[in-house]
Structures are given as C-alpha cells and as structure tokens.
Amino acid sequence: MNRTGVVQDPIFMEHVMDPGHPERPERLKVIYEMLEDEEKKNLRLINVKPRPATREELETTHSPAYIDRIASTAGKPHFRLDMDTSTSAKSFEAASLAAGGLCELIRAVCSGNLKNGFALVRPPGHHAESDRAMGFCLFNNVAIGAHYAIKNFSLERVLIVDWDVHHGNGTQNAFYSDPRVLYFSTHRYGFFYPGSGAATEVGHGKGEGFTVNVPLEGGSGDSEYGNIFERVLKPIALEYRPQIILVSAGFDIHYDDPLGGMEVTEAGFARLTQILMEIAEVTALGKLVLTLEGGYDIEGEKRSVGAVLKELSQVSPLDKKELVDKERKSDRRIAQLILRLSDIQRRYWKSL
C-alpha cells in the first residue's frame, strides 16, 4: 500500500513576480505535468488538499503587522516587498495555501494516515523572517509547519533539514532559542546570499546546540552532500531522536541550476532522501515531510523531484552502491570540514 502524499494545486502557479524572475510558475507546471504522466505508469501518490493557513498558524511565525501587510496585497496586480520579492493579485492566497497545505500534509503524516510526503508549493519560505519578506519568500512554510506539528501533536523534537543552496535565515531565526526544533542546514557560504549560516552559529540560550550549519564551497556535489548527511547529520539526528523530519527541499543545488553553482545529480537527491528515510525510520516511524524551496533549472528540478518521489514511495528506488563507493573515496577538503564541524558541535553531540 502506498502512503506517500503530495500537495499540489493550480493556485500555486498564480503567484507571479517580475517578468523573467527565476522563481516562476513554470517550475511547478512541469512538475505537475510529470506527476500526471507518472500517475499513468506506476507512481501512485495520494493528493492532500491544501487549505489556507489560519491567522493563528501564521502568527506562530510572523508578526501581526507583517501578516496584515501581505494580506493587503491581495487583489493588487503588483506590489514590491523586497529587492527581489514581489506579489501579484493571488500571491497572498497562494502563500496562505502553501503554508496551510504543508500543515495538512504534516497532519496526515502525524496522524498515521500517510507515511511521508512532499508539498509541491510556491512561494517558497525559508528566507521569510518574522516581519519581513526576503529572497522570493513570503510566509515561512516550514517554520509554520514545525509549530503546527509541535502544537497539534504535542511533539517535543522536530528536525528541519534544509538542503537548499541558500541558508534558511528565516527558519534559523524562528528557532534559534528553541530546543524543540533542531535546524540543520547545508548551504553555499562565502559571498553568497543571504550571508548567514556560519558553522559557529549554533543557537542561543535554551536553543544552544540545536542549530547546525554546514557551510559549503561552490562545486560541492553528491559525494560532499552524502558525506555530510552520513557523517554529520545522521549521528546528530540519531542522538536528537526527532519525532518527525521536515525538509526544506531546494533544488538549486542541482548541477544545471543557474544560481547555485553546486553539482548534485538526480541520483544524489535520491541518495539524500534515502538517508533521511533511514533516520526517520529509526526515530520517527518513518515520518518525513518535504516542502519545495528553490530550484531554477526547470528540467533538472523536475527530474530531481521525480527521483525524490520515487524514493519516498519506494517505487524503483536508487541502487546506492555506486554513490556510497564515491562517498568513501571523498577528498581531503570534505574530511577537513567534517573535522571542523565536529570540533564545534562535539560540545552538544557526543556521537561526533
């Protein structure tokens, strides 16, 4: 029996920013078309209908004044929020349904109706701050989802893994002093947007030790990501014992992405999904929920999302042997990074 859910809805293609903007409706259009094709073959996914996030749910992460500001853009053809972030008439509706859709998927997984799932939504969320739109993001979907899971299912430990090429500043800040959420981010670092995410940013107060930042150099690919997930994320996560894993799944680490400068292949995305499924199986009865963040090469993103969904639903999963061999032969650069991360994090995680 297949128990993998997806959130998809035409409303998510009605959020439109400036002409030529890379975060464009076509990103989802090709993914939805692929799902229709795959549906006819063997990929059986369960649709989870999105609903708007409630005011109360939005307020777990955003200030009332900010929510009012985004709501006031409804019906206006164009409104600029940030240098690279704007809204169209339906953006507020789309953003509310993106956050609410993720909450519905989390509900289905936490209540045991689904095993795992992927919210294929726009706009993305991980840069959105409590009171500010940033980096193509309006509401911070994954942060709202984590609060939703904690509140409605009395969870004490939620792991957010963010593999988008950009650091999820908004998500980090939302939980910087909060041990109920462990934020783990891999991102390109050093003269790269948004600039936050140094390895020494580890959380504050009660949240100290519950933020793990993995700054990577441009050009990192399957082997680097595989090593970080196996040798840093896995031991920390098994020690933390999350009750659910949420993923900010950005496909701007794909080798064809015009913004990211990373080298991850479709097989690499499948491998990362496998590692997350293994962790979830041990600590969270398999509960794993992804939400779409960035990813600007339309075809590469589509194929990668397809590879991830095949893993989640265990339809033709990847034979990981070749990638694991490559990971074992990893170069000195990544070994040095792992040593440095261990030095910083060992205070909090004795398995490192």
Residue 18: CB minimum distance to Zn ion, A: 17
Q: How far is the CB of 182 from Zn ion (least distance, A)?
A: 20
Asked if residue 15 binds Zn ion (CB under 5 A), the reply is no
Instruction: State yes or no: is 127 an active-site residue.
Output: yes
* Comparison of 101 and 250: residue with beta carbon closer to Zn ion: 250
Nearer to Zn ion, 5 or 250 (CB): 250
Pairing relation of β-strands 85-87 and 158-162?
A: unpaired
Residue 335: count of CB within 10 angstroms of its CB: 12
Segment near Zn ion (CB under 5 A), from 33-41, 82-90, 248-256, 302-310? 248-256
Distance CA 51, CA 74 (A): 17
Query: Which residue in 26, 144, 21 sits closest to 80, CA to CA?
Result: 21
Q: Which of 230, 252, 257, 327 binds Zn ion (CB under 5 A)?
A: 252
Distance CA 22, CA 27 (A): 9
Identified binder of Zn ion from the candidate list 164, 222, 224, 263, rule CB under 5 A: 164
Considering the complex, state which of residue 145 and residue 250 has its C-beta at the smaller distance from Zn ion: 250
Q: With CB under 5 A as the contact rule, which of the stretches 22-30, 228-236, 247-255, 272-280 interacts with Zn ion?
A: 247-255
Buried b (16+ CB within 10 A) or exposed e, 74-87: eeeeebebeebbbb
Q: Which residue is nearest to Zn ion (CB)?
A: 294
Question: Of the residues 15, 126, 127, 166, which is catalytic?
Answer: 127
Q: Which stretch binds Zn ion (CB under 5 A): 21-29, 66-74, 225-233, 289-297?
A: 289-297
Looking at beta carbons only, is 178 or 252 nearer to Zn ion? Answer: 252
Segment contacting Zn ion by CB under 5 A, of 228-236, 245-253, 262-270, 314-322: 245-253
The answer to whether 250 contacts Zn ion (rule: CB under 5 A) is: yes
When asked if residue 306 is in the footprint of Zn ion (CB under 5 A), the reply is no
Least distance in angstroms from the C-beta of 242 to Zn ion: 23
Exposure of 42 by Cβ count < 10 A (0-12 exposed, 13-18 middle, 19+ buried)?
exposed
| C-alpha dist (Å) from residue 350 to 179, 232, 233 | 17, 12, 13
> Using CA atoms, how far apart are residues 233 and 185, in angstroms rounded to an integer?
9
The two structure tokens encoding residue 75: 């019906």
| Long-range contacts of the stretch 16-22 (C-beta < 8 A, 24+) | 16/88, 16/91, 17/85, 17/86, 17/87, 17/88, 17/136, 18/86, 21/84, 21/136, 22/258, 22/259, 22/296
Overall residue count recorded for the chain in this entry: 352
What is the distance between the alpha carbons of residues 306 and 48, in angstroms, rounded to a whole number? 18
Q: Which of 52, 226, 294, 300 binds Zn ion (CB under 5 A)?
A: 294
CB of 297 to Zn ion, least distance (A): 12
Q: Which of 27, 166, 271, 287 binds Zn ion (CB under 5 A)?
A: 166
- Binding of Zn ion at residue 263 (CB under 5 A)? no
Smaller CB separation from Zn ion, 160 or 352: 160
Contacting positions for Zn ion (CB under 5 A): 164, 166, 250, 252, 294
Which residues are known to be catalytic? 127
